[in-house]
Structure 1
Amino acid sequence: MSETVQWLTAWLVQHTYAVVFVAALVDATAIPFPGRVVLAAAGAFAAAGDVDVALVIGLGTAGVMITDHVWYFAGSLGGDRLLRLYCRLTFSSPDCVQRTSAWFKRFGPLVILVGRFVAAVRVLAWPLARDHGIRYITFLALEMPAALVWTATWVGLGWLLGARWADASAEARWVSVGLAFVGALAFFAYRAWRRLRPGAAVS
């Protein structure tokens, strides 16, 4: 293990609880951030007896739920406007808003459950949840256990990896970078094809 990794590991052990809470909170925003790696690292620390695993899972779940609530209540700030902005920024098709609304008509409250594990659904659909009849009590009943399962899964993965988490996370990082690069190329190639094909609608 390199000196840098050793220093980072020691720092994380010392500040595990605060880092887990912030990392989970930021990760739930759907911006590129290695929050799940932090949770896995905390799980490895817990396996070594350095931190309490129940407290790690509890703080991670709390961080996730805070941001998830922001997505849910964002609808009161103009869910449709936020969704249209997101659709434009991601070069989505003109029927992006309509397709998102259709999710609720087809799947109902299950959209909340799926959204905890799929960032695109969380960002697109949750701000419209209240407009489609998803009451807060229903949102909470689905989101709370989903947040707990999501957090416990990543912490548990780190627990199982134990001392090997650093090597595993380093390998996963490079694999993720490669997949993200290929995915980005495929995405923009697909968007370009849709815009340039004969008869394509202008967005």
Structure 2
Amino acid sequence: MSAFAPLLSSGLLASGLLAFDLQGLFEEYTYLAVGLALFLMGLGLPIPEELALVLAGYLAWADLAQLWLMMATCAAAITLGDLLPYLAGRLFGERFLRSRAVRRWLNPRRMRRFNQLFLRYGAKVVFFARFFPGLRSVAYVVAGSLGMPLARFLFLDGLGILVTVPTFVGIGYAFGRNIDDALQKIREVEHGLIWAIGCGLVAAALWMWWRRRGLRPRAEPSSPEPNEGD
């Protein structure tokens, strides 16, 4: 029986990840296929990265790949996929951002919002963007256009990858016997991460507001005017 048989009735096929009869490709060229899929997702392929990571874990569970080598492959492919948007923003800057192709998904209003995020939270936006699928590529392009050093970008992006790759590959490996449970676990983890990050950002904003308010100089009480009779 094919290692992909349990996937035929799961939500993974419905997601489109294996909608094009790629079973043979993933079984014969496991590492290359997973790596290429993740690399293309980093360039904007409209398939959730988390589902590909769960599939990678499932392939390791099915003895089609070694778990740790698969994790390393996923991490390397994601890093390369993230690096290209960053380099495009870094090398071409405003000219790239104003191109017709980019303006379709990065309009001026969205660009202003990201600039404000970077001004407010700094380079940490690169780390947090990893947990928001619709923001990743945009954040990396903006980071490059603002001149973030390559080493700092790779460090922050790598921190996010160190969270997501072991988490979602591990879910696919641990729930190999029941991929539906793995997909449900993904949704729970994603929601938990988004809530935790959202609460953290709100708490940070409140703390900064409170600190700024505390540092604001207080108006000195005006001295009483002397009476005319004195």
Instruction: State the TM-score bracket (shorter-chain normalisation).
Output: 0.5 to 0.7
Give the superposition deviation at 1:4.
9.4
Q: Do residues 52 (structure 1) and 66 (structure 2) align?
A: yes
**Equivalent position amino acid for 2:169 in 1:** V
Q: Is the 8 A contact 2:26 2:34 kept in 1?
A: no
Give the superposition deviation at 1:9.
5.2
Q: Which of the two has higher C-alpha Rg?
A: 2
Aligned to 1:184: none
Aligned to 2:111: 97
Give the superposition deviation at 1:155.
0.8
Aligned to 1:117: 131
* Identical counterparts, % of pairs: 27
Structure 2 CA distance, aligned partners of 1:107 and 1:25? 27
For residues 120-151 of structure 1, give each alpha carbon's deviation from its aligned partner in whole angstroms, at most 9, with x where no partner exists: 33222322324435211111111123223222
Q: 1:64 to 1:47 in 2, by over 3 A?
A: same
Give the superposition deviation at 1:55.
0.5
**Equivalent position amino acid for 2:85 in 1:** W
Q: Is the 8 A contact 2:93 2:144 kept in 1?
A: no
Q: Is the 8 A contact 1:57 1:155 kept in 2?
A: yes
Q: Is the 8 A contact 2:60 2:173 kept in 1?
A: yes
For residues 151-199 of structure 1, give each alpha carbon's deviation from its aligned partner in whole angstroms, at most 9, with x where no partner exists: 222211111221222x568999xx9xxxxxxxxxxxxxxxxxxxxxxxx
**Equivalent position amino acid for 1:153 in 2:** T
Moved more, 55-64 or 67-76: 67-76
Structure 2 CA distance, aligned partners of 1:25 and 1:91? 20
Q: Is the 8 A contact 2:94 2:145 kept in 1?
A: no
Q: Is the 8 A contact 1:83 1:124 kept in 2?
A: no
How many residues were matched structurally? 171
Superposition CA RMSD, Å: 3.4
Structure 1 CA distance, aligned partners of 2:6 and 2:122? 51
Normalising by structure 1, report the TM-score: 0.68
Give the superposition deviation at 1:69.
0.8
Give the superposition deviation at 1:36.
3.3
Q: 1:79 to 1:42 in 2, by over 3 A?
A: same
Q: Is the 8 A contact 1:13 1:51 kept in 2?
A: no
Q: SS where residue 162 of structure 1 aligns?
A: coil
Structure 2 CA distance, aligned partners of 1:11 and 1:133? 39
Aligned to 1:149: 163
Consecutive unaligned residues in structure 2, runs of 5 or more: 10-20, 188-230
**Equivalent position amino acid for 2:57 in 1:** G
Q: Is the 8 A contact 1:112 1:142 kept in 2?
A: yes
Moved more, 78-87 or 27-36: 78-87
Aligned to 1:14: 28
Consecutive unaligned residues in structure 1, runs of 5 or more: 176-203
Match of 1:162 among 153, 176, 182: 176
Moved more, 65-74 or 79-88: 79-88
**Equivalent position amino acid for 1:21 in 2:** G
Structure 1 CA distance, aligned partners of 2:145 and 2:24? 47
Structure 2 CA distance, aligned partners of 1:44 and 1:50? 9
Would you tell me which structure has more helix in proportion to its own residues?
A: 1
Q: Is the 8 A contact 1:111 1:121 kept in 2?
A: no
Normalising by structure 2, report the TM-score: 0.61
Alignment of 1:72-83 (within 5 A): 72-83=86-97
Aligned to 2:54: 40
Moved more, 146-155 or 83-92: 83-92
